[in-house]
Amino acid sequence: MIRRFAVLATLLLSAQAVAQPTPVITDDDLARVRRETPTVTEEDVRRVQQRHAVPVPVPSPAPRIDALPQPLTNQLPDLGDIAQGYAHTPGSGALPATAPGLFVFVSLAMPEPTLARLVDQAARAKASILIRGFANGSLRETAGRIQKLIGQREVAVLIDPQAFERYAVKRVPTFVLARDGARPAACTGGTCPPPTDYVSTAGDVSLDYALDQLRRAAPRFESEAGVFLARLKR
Can you give the CATH number for the domain in which 121 is found? 3.40.30
| Number of structural domains in the chain | 1
| Alpha-helix runs per DSSP H in the chain | 2-18, 27-36, 42-51, 79-87, 112-125, 139-150, 161-166, 207-217, 222-232
Rounded Cα distance between 148 and 129, Å, is: 14
- Note down the domain range covering 189: 79-232
Is 44 inside a domain boundary?
Answer: no
Nearest to 115 by CA among 165, 150, 76, 85: 150
Is 33 inside a domain boundary?
Answer: no
Is 14 inside a domain boundary?
Answer: no
Q: Which of 19-33, 100-114, 127-141 has the lowest mean pLDDT?
A: 19-33
What pLDDT does 93 receive? 43
Q: What is the mean pLDDT of residues 27-37?
A: 70
What pLDDT does 42 receive? 75
Is 26 inside a domain boundary?
Answer: no
Is 132 inside a domain boundary?
Answer: yes
**Above 50 in pLDDT, residue 164?**
yes
Is 138 inside a domain boundary?
Answer: yes
Q: Which residue has the higher pLDDT, 17 or 132?
A: 132
Q: How far is C-alpha 215 from the geometric centre of its chain's CA atoms?
A: 46
What pLDDT does 87 receive? 43
Nearest to 232 by CA among 127, 154, 135: 127
Q: pLDDT (tens digit, 9 = 90+) per residue, 167-204? A: 999 999 999 999 877 654 556 555 677 778 899 999 99
Residue 152 neighbours by CB distance under 10 Å: 5
